[in-house]
Every structure is written in C-alpha cells, then in structure tokens.
Amino acid sequence: MAKALEVAKYLVSKSVPGTEESITNLKLQKLLYYAQGFHLAIQDSPLFMERIEAWVHGPVVPEVYSEFKHFAYNEIDTHYDVRMIDLTEEEKKLLNDVWSIFKSYSGKVLEEMTHNEEPWVNARKGLGTFDYSNERIKKKDIKQYFAKEYIVQAI
C-alpha cells in the first residue's frame, strides 16, 4: 500500500507549471481524494491509509497539506524523480488515469465538484459553509459513492 505523500509526489511530477496542467496544494488535495475514491471502488482497498478530512475547501490529507502548505495558492514547482517514488506499477497506472481525467481542472473547480459529492457533504453535516472541521471522511463512504457514481459494473 502506498503512502499518501508518495502518491502526492507522483501527481506533482506529472504537472506542468505555467499551464492548465499545473498543480497547487488545493488541486493536489482533490486529486488525492479522487485517486483514493477510484482505488477503493475498483480495487476494493485503499490506495493509502492516511485519513482524508472534510475541510472548508474540500477533502484534505493533512500530512500532505502540511508538506506543501508553504506554496499557499501558488503552483507547486518541486521536481521529483519518478524513479525514486515508491509506488507499484498498478498504482502508477491508476494515478495516470486520474491525472488524465482531472489534469485540466483548476483546484477551485475540483473544490466545487467535491462540495457536491456525498462523502464530503455527509462528513460536514450540521456545519456552516465556512465552519472549521477536521472530521474524517470515511473510506466506506468514499468507496460506496465512487462505486455508485463513477464505476460502471460489468453485467
């Protein structure tokens, strides 16, 4: 099983600074959520074990957020050697697919998308729009949502 920071480094390595395929911490957090969701729905297991929390601006993996918070809302321009990132080929394939789907979306667009998805909405039940929360988004909720909304089951 991957570590969330390794997944993040791989996604950052795919980005192209100065283009719509750049990546900010906001965008990175949403991509981690989508990667986790697809892995849970397809593989029936988590991609990484770190918790995802329902923050004001959408799903966040706190450990990864802390690693990149010094970039604030700016593009992450750190270079990672893909050969040094500890992921399986299967994990890289899934991340390549997630990147292909979402690479052109800005962090703000991805934030809006996650704000309309059940796992984040349910984790923030009873909270106002701008209320602080570190409530965990349950993996089982993510899996059920992605299996229902994104994954077409074979008949």
What whole-number distance in Å separates Cα of residue 49 and Cα of residue 11? 17
Q: Which of 4-18, 33-47, 139-153 has the lowest mean pLDDT?
A: 139-153
CA dihedral 127, 132, 136, 138 (to 10 degrees): 40
The model's pTM: 0.95
Helix orientation angle between 25-43 and 4-14, rounded to the nearest 10 degrees: 120
Q: Could you report the per-residue pLDDT of 15-27, keeping only the tens digit for each?
A: 999 999 999 999 9
Mean pLDDT of 121-147: 96
